[in-house]
A and B are shown apart, each in its own frame.
Chain A
Amino acid sequence: GDQVEQSPSALSLHEGTGSALRCNFTTTMRAVQWFQQNSRGSLINLFYLASGTKENGRLKSTFNSKESYSTLHIRDAQLEDSGTYFCAAEVLNNNAPRFGAGTKLSVKP
């Protein structure tokens, strides 16, 4: 069955507001990555975590391996944050990361 459950599938935010995206895992994952995919299809690396929390500007991500989830928090959303966000998690090293279904984020003025 699906090992990476991502929610929500779509999210609409006004500029300046924030929200959280979540991925739940149905098996123990070794590491998780978060990507933003732009309208041209390019995947931009946001975070790579084996545990704990990382922050970069207006984005913050947490990975809790024991409780099998990861979150991506966006604050002070900007128009350029629009796109589709994916989490991808690895079971074992060199195994192919398994992707969530994505969250389509629309940021409105």
Chain B
Amino acid sequence: NSKVIQTPRYLVKGQGQKAKMRCIPEKGHPVVFWYQQNKNNEFKFLINFQNQEVLQQIDMTEKRFSAECPSNSPCSLEIQSSEAGDSALYLCASKQGNTEVFFGKGTRLTVV
């Protein structure tokens, strides 16, 4: 029932490598969320956007994570220097307003 498209579905990177994943929200959905789901199934909110503007984000003081939602391009989440602990399912979601959130199928990142 979701039309959120995430690519790639699987991503394998070596430690220290850059990892980039993309998300195309549903058409007409201005709000986009990124979550990280770890191996214990816990969801961690990372960042969300309304159109191109950041609404909320966690303290990314590690500076290894960055995200953007440029106009007329897919949203993206990038890890500058991957670490083993970044291995997780990264989920993108979008919504229209006071409505339900729809998730993509996720990008499963494995850092070896």
Contacts and interface: CB of A to CB of B under 8 A. Distances in A.
B41 A94 contact: no
Contacts of B1: 44-45
Interface in A81-109: 84, 86, 88, 93-99, 101-102
A39 interface: no
A84 B2 CA distance: 18
B31 to A, nearest CB: 6
B108 A93 contact: no
Interface string A61-90: 000000000000000000000001010100
Contacts of B100: 33, 45, 48
Contact of A97 (B37, B89, B101, B108): B101
Nearest to A33: B100
Contacts of A93: 97-98
At the interface, is chain A mostly helix, strand, loop or mixed?
strand
Interface stretch (B13-21, B48-56, B59-67, B68-76): B48-56
Interface residues of B, number: 26
Nearest to B41: A102
Contact of A40 (B42, B55, B91, B105): B105
A48 B101 CA distance: 9
Interface in B93-112: 97-103, 105-106, 108
B105 A94 contact: no
A51 B32 CA distance: 24
Contacts of A42: 103, 105-106
Contact of A101 (B42, B89, B91): B42
Contacts of B55: 94
Give the interface centre of A44, A94, A95 by most chain B CB atoms within 10 Å: A94
A1 interface: no
A35 B102 CA distance: 10
Contacts of A37: 41
Contacts of B33: 96-97
Nearest to A50: B98
Contact of A43 (B45, B91, B99): B91
A45 B23 CA distance: 18
